[in-house]
Structure 1
Amino acid sequence: MPKAYVFTRYGGPETEAFVDVDRPSPGPGQLLVAVHAAGVNPVDWKQRTGYRRPGESDERVFPVVFGNEVSGVVEDIGDGVEGFAVGDAVFGTALAGGYTEYTLVPAAIAAHKPAELSHTAAATLPVAAATAYDGVRQLDLPSGATLLVTGAGGGVGAAAVQIARAFGLRVVGVASEGKKAFVESLGAEHVASGPGWAERARASAPDAVYDLVGGQVLAEAAELLTDRTKLITAGAPEEEVRRLGGARVARARNAAVLEEVARLVLKGDLDPHLTETFPLDRAGDALRTVEEGHARGKTVIEVTR
């Protein structure tokens, strides 16, 4: 039976375990994908604590397989699927978890993986890079405008900095002092996070803020803007950012965005900055790396086949 890394109830790392699961069968509009690589994101451990994305309401049935973004090969196809065939290399958003050997991916939010792109690199794109892309497009800033990115040293933040630079924007990245060289290597001006960060950033006069932290950082970032409609977040709930006059990142969740971020990678405008890989049997270690805030760029779980 396929192996999967799951959480068995809401809570901390003590709820995590490996289990054997049935190989799923694709329903209408779905692809069964043999997973070659799965991206690791902060949302993965947040979901273990009970966090729900905006619009999610269904009660989870435990155990829940971790992971949201995968790259692999199509093993079977559900009714009504067009444009995909068994044996196609694809990447996309997993319907029921990615830290596993087989998963289901909705065909509508899957894309063909370019041959020049490895499965490991492709697995970094469906959540982190696509979220970054959606946010930068949502802000719709003119070339030469200044974008401030909080949490610029993480997976989404690093992608947002690079995509914004590809769109001709000046970028100011807020991250820890230890990530200064990394943030600057992405093409951003670095501002050290921590107490007083907003005053340090004020001189950059940002035209917009892409927040990936939430909480007090989001509130302080809002004070830097004269036009709060240019405040977006992927790090805070909708109601929190609405109170400040901003909005959540509106996710497109379609194949066109996946194809575009893959094109940016192949063009050299977007480096996934894959910093660490783990085998599936060390999925817990991969998750700890991200949960404890040690990751710079992206962490990926590779499934040996």
Structure 2
Amino acid sequence: MPKAYVFTRYGGPETEALAELDRPGPGPGQLLVAVRAAGVNPVDWKQRTGYRRPGGDERELPAVFGNEVAGVVEEVGADVTGFTAGDEVFGSPVAGGYAEYALLPVAVSAHKPAELSFTDAAALPVAGATAYDGIRQLGLPSGATVLITGAGGGVGVAATQIARAFGLRVVGVASDGKKDFVESLGAVHVPSGPGLEERVRGAAPDGVDGVFDLVGGEVLEAAATLLTDRTKLITGADRETVARLGGVPVARARTAAVLDEVAKLVVDGELRPFVTRTFPLDRAGEALRTVEDGHTRGKIVIEVSA
């Protein structure tokens, strides 16, 4: 039976297990994909604790981890057009992707360009697409300055590069240990920690025109003080705080068209997924711990043998 990495109940890492599950069958508008790679994101372990996306349904347990995959189409469901068995694709699975097989809805699936590896493609549907949606949402003109908090993480790395591709000046907030990495992306690095506002003002004496927050809490509150127009304050991390401050969450498009655009940025050399570590499926727990510990640089991906 196909293997998958699951959580058996809501809680901590003790609820996780490598399990054997029946191979799923595609329903209408779905693709059955033989997974080649699955991206690892903070939302994965948060869902294990009981977190649900706004409007999301309760997960059926045991639940498979993972929210982004790349692989090869095995079967197509009814009413599917534009895809056939053997196509290389990437997208957001219906219910988990740390597995040998996953179901993808056609609406959030895209053809993988031949120039793009499965590993890099698996890093795009959550981090890359969230970054793209956020930068587009801010709508800043070329030459404007955007402050990105959490600039050294998966979404932050992508957002920094996409902002640069759109002609924006980027001030990136990250730990001292990520200074060289953030600067290599073309951003001005500002260390995180107390006194953030003063350091940002020193790095951007003309002010910042938008804030893309990926940390939340006190960091988001500090960043908000640097803006006069709170409609240019967005977050991918803290919906409650941003609402109190007059900003909004990142509005996710969740479309195949966005995946196509993000993949094109990679192929054109404007965006590097920066997959810094990979793990096999039987070490998925280690991959998840690496992200849950909160000190990752770039993206972590689980690679599944063909």
Please tell me the TM-score bracket, short chain as reference.
over 0.9
Unmatched segments (≥5 aa) in structure 1: none
Q: How does 1:179-258 map to 2 (within 5 A)?
A: 179-203=178-202, 204=204, 205-237=207-239, 239-258=240-259
Q: How does 1:20-99 map to 2 (within 5 A)?
A: 20-56=20-56, 58-99=57-98
CA-to-partner distance for each residue in 1:206-249, whole Å, 9 max, x for gaps?
Answer: 11000001111111111110000000000112x32111110010
4+ aligned runs moved over 4 Å, structure 1:
none
Identity of aligned residues (%): 74
Tell me, yes or no, if structure 1 residue 164 matches structure 2 residue 166. Answer: no
The alignment partner of 1:278 has SS state of strand
Other-structure match for 2:297 = 296
The alignment partner of 2:114 has SS state of coil
Other-structure match for 1:108 = 107
The alignment's TM-score, normalised by the length of structure 1, stands at 0.98
In structure 1, how many angstroms separate the alpha carbons of the residues matched to 2:158 and 2:284? 23
- Residue type matched to 1:218 in 2? L
Other-structure match for 1:287 = 288
Deviation at 1:9, TM superposition (A): 1.3
Deviation at 1:290, TM superposition (A): 0.8
In structure 2, how many angstroms separate the alpha carbons of the residues matched to 1:84 and 1:118? 19
- Residue type matched to 2:292 in 1? E
CA-to-partner distance for each residue in 1:244-280, whole Å, 9 max, x for gaps?
Answer: 1100101011111101111000111001011000000
Tell me, yes or no, if structure 1 residue 128 matches structure 2 residue 155. Answer: no
The alignment partner of 2:28 has SS state of coil
Residues matched between the structures, number = 303
Other-structure match for 2:276 = 275
Other-structure match for 2:5 = 5
In structure 1, how many angstroms separate the alpha carbons of the residues matched to 2:226 and 2:135? 18
The alignment partner of 2:212 has SS state of strand
- Residue type matched to 2:77 in 1? G
In structure 2, how many angstroms separate the alpha carbons of the residues matched to 1:134 and 1:167? 13
- Residue type matched to 2:196 in 1? W
- Residue type matched to 1:292 in 2? D
The alignment partner of 2:39 has SS state of strand
- Residue type matched to 2:62 in 1? P
Deviation at 1:291, TM superposition (A): 0.8
The alignment's TM-score, normalised by the length of structure 2, stands at 0.98
- Residue type matched to 2:210 in 1? A
The alignment partner of 1:132 has SS state of helix
**Considering only aligned residues, what root-mean-square deviation do their CA atoms show, in Å?**
0.8
Cα pair 2:52 2:58 within 8 Å, conserved: no
CA-to-partner distance for each residue in 1:131-167, whole Å, 9 max, x for gaps?
Answer: 0000000000000000000000000000000000000
